[in-house]
Amino acid sequence: MFNQYNLDEIRNRARAAFIGMAIGDALGATLEFMTATEIAAKYGTFRDITGGGWLRLKSGQVTDDTEMALCIARAIVKNQAWSTEAVADNFATWLKSRPVDCGDTCRKGIRAYMLKGQLESPPNEWDAGNGAAMRILPAALFSLPDEELLKKYVIEQAHITHNNPVSDAACLCLGQLLHMTICGAGKNRVRRHVDGLVTRFPTFNFEPYRGLATGYIVDTMQTVFHWFFLGNSFEECLVGTVNQGGDADTTGAICGMLAGAYYGMEAIPRRWIKKMDSTVIAEIEIMVERLVAASPAGSMI
């Protein structure tokens, strides 16, 4: 089913997805909580990684989106297996390390694990933030290309903090899009899959685009879909997404993983990679290598 060529291609796209996610996080964080109008007035179009923003970040510094994804990656790589408990342990260690940022729903879920060992938050119609979707990439890489494993990993990691049908639908759809694009799917196929989500959950309809880019998973995914399908390069997709403002680091992270997987490493601007925190990029490189090697795809050749 897979040959060496496919596996090299998969590794390239998986790397681009993870590095793309970190770049989207670092690029967007400068604009988090600004409106598109405020961004346009201050920057025209914002297109360089500079740090700053409400978190006063260093240039190239990432936030909770990338850090939580790395928590999941480390748990998988260390165990060479899926363990929701290991993921939750890493979230707890991370929260105790006083991260630069942590969303309210994430904090609540991690605290419930720390206090009661709760691995699955109770269903909650209000827990429809984007915090479960932003960190799913390692679960998608480790399950390549098995859809049943994808579903199990993606939903189990999500429910540690977010147990909500709209969040679940977005997480699963995004995971499937990552599988498809990493395996080389074209935009038409991606589009058909997104249309399927919109049919089942019309709330995700993004045409016409309403321009909302909040932390609500529906607004987040509409923004990512709109700019992913409108853009003709990794850079265009990302610049469009983060200039929408709102939860710009998270929309940037999600668009970055999807556009990275779709366009591959060659499409990621070097000026952005050079600005990134080199320690984070080095860890991402190792994690991607090991996640793909340990996935079903890694043992199919």
24-43 binders of Mn ion (CB under 5 A):
none
Alpha carbon 251 to chain centroid, angstroms: 8
241 contacts 227 by C-beta, under 8 angstroms: yes
Is residue 247 involved in binding Mn ion (CB under 5 A)?
yes
We find the least distance from the C-beta atom of residue 146 to Mn ion, in angstroms, to be 29
Among 30, 61, 63, 181, binds Mn ion (CB under 5 A): 63
> Under rule CB under 5 A, how many of the chain's residues touch Mn ion?
6
Is residue 241 involved in binding Mn ion (CB under 5 A)?
no
Is residue 249 involved in binding Mn ion (CB under 5 A)?
yes
As beta bridge partners, residue 260 has: none
* Stretch of 64-72, 137-145, 229-237, 257-265 lying at the interface with Mn ion (CB under 5 A): 64-72
Is residue 65 involved in binding Mn ion (CB under 5 A)?
yes
Is residue 64 involved in binding Mn ion (CB under 5 A)?
yes
Is residue 235 involved in binding Mn ion (CB under 5 A)?
no
Give the orientation angle of helix 84-96 with respect to helix 104-116, to 10 degrees. Answer: 110
* Stretch of 86-94, 154-162, 241-249, 286-294 lying at the interface with Mn ion (CB under 5 A): 241-249
Residue nearest to Mn ion (CB): 63
For 105-168, the DSSP string reads: HHHHHHHHHHHH--SSPPP-TT--BSTTTTT-HHHHHHHTT-HHHHHHHHHHHHHTT---HHHH
Is residue 219 involved in binding Mn ion (CB under 5 A)?
no
Beta carbon nearer to Mn ion, 55 or 267: 55
| Nearest Cα to Cα of residue 91 among 117, 56, 122, 129 | 117
Question: How many residues can be counted in the chain?
Answer: 301
* Stretch of 88-96, 192-200, 233-241, 248-256 lying at the interface with Mn ion (CB under 5 A): 248-256
Beta carbon nearer to Mn ion, 63 or 157: 63
For 45-101, the DSSP string reads: S--S---BTTTTBPTT---HHHHHHHHHHHHHHHHTS--HHHHHHHHHHHHHT--S-
Which stretches of the chain bind Mn ion, using CB under 5 A?
63-65, 247, 249-250
